[in-house]
Structure 1
């Protein structure tokens, strides 16, 4: 189901929804706490395929503190989440709160299907340092609809053991794409099943997370924000496509990478067979679990010229769907997530990124340099803002992935490849 179809569904649902519950309209004079506002179980939906370990810990921490209003957490398959939300709103069967892939929030905000929390949360001091990428998409026409649930940022992970074997300095990761290519060539030359680079060939989301920042760092703009906006602008688009095509031709990626649809993306770096890879902060723990003896480092994703960098800030928001009867408790759960104690003793202790920048200076991160390194990506990160992200970028049949696959695996003229994708993106954005 496309998000355009979903938007139409939830727009109709909004017309038939009727008045909100008394709790959901009583925001102005309610003071949020980190405890129960009322008794009884809270229902929460969250997508699968995200940072389940982190969400489970957050819910467990809330439940331990608030036994009278525990959160019952249900995971919905990622590919079904948007449709499930739309159907729930249409039928009036919604959870009290939910985690939402942050990139889809603007479309639901525009369709008036999330509870406007502005009066309840706008004065919170914690929002001043909350992840800017999250808060950008949590805001629609100056109204606030949610807060960060967890943050994922993309960065360049590199295998120090393979760097050393290839005669490279393990403490000097590449600072530009030409340097990355040169390093990858040397690592691939080690032979066997070792490759210098990893490129997910059939995963639109993986590529916007890891290849998109290479374009941003090279001065490009990718998505069309809305009708009339121009996508795929700047020389960096073609430069990065040519870079990736050359990496494939040079044999710097495994042949099997071409079929990667995201299911095993998170397991690639920990295999020890990849020299460098754009991936996320979640891979620190995963790689260590997979390959405890492997030494690795983290750097910022580079652009064409030295010391130009970018990152994709992803993750989830926690929001309240229209029809929720437990808005005050849901808001208190948000306050709990942003509290100093939870930021440090739950997020940071588990070596997950804090969602407030002022909480990054903590004892757990100081003891773990890799988390400090990946946290630097927050300073150069961005989150696309468009009402048609799925159709333009994330759809397996969308113009973004089609463009990338033609660039990576065919000899088609790149100017034509880009022009075709640009045309499709503009047509999609014109319908928003």
Structure 2
């Protein structure tokens, strides 16, 4: 009897001690990530980390994309912050300038992986020479073209256009096929779609778009006007579907897979989508060109991962960043899922080599740019902002382009000065 009591006592005591000890154990790291991004990729990265780090797992919470910026700002102000967070890379400079992110420069300065990390992500993660984040995932823009329509139009399906003039030439021939087929696609009411796909045409042509700050001049270089003139001419020539004027971005990702568009700027995500939509369609991928042959560029989009000021798990968060950039994670998580690696030197891997289209679009990483400004939404992404207004006037009005650009410049400078 005494043995039973002793056994029960020991068992109960062990259970009590376990409950008491529980709070002393390492708690999960809390991570916030925006919804509407690449959730599948982020889920896989966190799962891979948790498998390797069972004593310091990450608890991932998705925040509605439209709520992310104010929610993070509120959390930092109250001190109730997550341990780390994924955020739309374009907002990096805004939070860095406000002193709301942890400076990680000294902790990561000797990491060789940073030398080949996606340049656009690294640029927006840096403020006044100090580093505040690393890439979480990358999307890049490229020129997708329908090889089936190329053949029907008498074009060589293995020779994509290398300049804006060639895009116009090829588009004219594809549109001439008639029916519901058009040579190109330009989204008329989507600011983000245009900076992702038209912005690179300007960068490739030597232009700059956004002002970095109040002292910087926006919309510089002949490439701005040259690209606007090209786009206006493409639309007037009938090379773009009429309903493109109302495209807000809701169906942008489904356009190429319709099989009715000869060429369009879109992102690496469209490889899988187009195959699902139109399994029999043969298509190719090239870099987005500029005015002259040989000029190329791309938009590096996606998210960075950063540490909000007030985080109590800085060292663990730094370890997660190192994990993201490691060779193993780059190949066995990013590449295995056919997502872009976030290091340019990791694009030559067995998974990409088995998928030529992914390998082709990965070439954009080396030439991709990302806008750097403290007021990206107001300048570029807002539906009422000067970027989209300028494009819509160029696309659909006959107003002199110099006037349109001049007025857009003035609006951008006023916003930057606020």
> TM-score, length-normalised on structure 1?
0.88
- Cα distance in 1 for partners of 2:291, 2:63 equals 39
- Cα distance in 2 for partners of 1:60, 1:293 equals 34
Q: How does 1:32-43 map to 2 (within 5 A)?
A: 39-43=26-30
Per-residue CA shift, 1:246-280, capped at 9, x if unaligned? 11112211222112222222121112121111011
Alignment of 1:221 with 2:208, yes or no, is yes
Counterpart residue number, 1:140:
127
| Comparing 207-216 and 181-190, the one that deviates more | 181-190
User: What SS does structure 1 have at the residue aligned with 2:82?
Assistant: coil
Counterpart residue number, 1:197:
184
Q: How does 1:81-230 map to 2 (within 5 A)?
A: 81-230=68-217
Q: 2:289 aligns with which of 302, 305, 308?
A: 302
In 1, are the aligned partners of 2:104 and 2:131 still within 8 Å (CA)? yes
Alignment of 1:404 with 2:396, yes or no, is no
Gapped regions of structure 1 (runs ≥ 5)? 1-37
User: 1:139 offset after TM fit, Å?
Assistant: 1.3
Q: How does 1:310-349 map to 2 (within 5 A)?
A: 310-349=297-336
Per-residue CA shift, 1:351-404, capped at 9, x if unaligned? 111111221121111122212211221222212222122211111111001100
Q: 1:389 aligns with which of 369, 376, 382?
A: 376
User: 1:74 offset after TM fit, Å?
Assistant: 2.0
Alignment of 1:66 with 2:47, yes or no, is no
Counterpart residue number, 1:235:
222
User: What SS does structure 1 have at the residue aligned with 2:55?
Assistant: helix
- Cα distance in 2 for partners of 1:39, 1:162 equals 58
- Cα distance in 2 for partners of 1:141, 1:280 equals 30
User: What SS does structure 1 have at the residue aligned with 2:37?
Assistant: coil
- Cα distance in 1 for partners of 2:150, 2:404 equals 34
User: What SS does structure 1 have at the residue aligned with 2:215?
Assistant: coil
User: 1:206 offset after TM fit, Å?
Assistant: 1.0
Q: Which has the larger radius of gyration?
A: 2
Alignment of 1:350 with 2:337, yes or no, is yes
Counterpart residue number, 2:233:
246
| Comparing 176-185 and 283-292, the one that deviates more | 283-292
The size of the alignment, in residue pairs, is 394
Counterpart residue number, 2:409:
422
User: 1:410 offset after TM fit, Å?
Assistant: 1.4
- Cα distance in 1 for partners of 2:126, 2:304 equals 11
Q: 2:264 aligns with which of 271, 274, 277?
A: 277
Q: List 4+ stretches of structure 1 deviating above 6 A.
A: none
User: 1:111 offset after TM fit, Å?
Assistant: 0.5
Counterpart residue number, 1:8:
none
> TM-score, length-normalised on structure 2?
0.91
Counterpart residue number, 2:250:
263
RMSD: 1.4
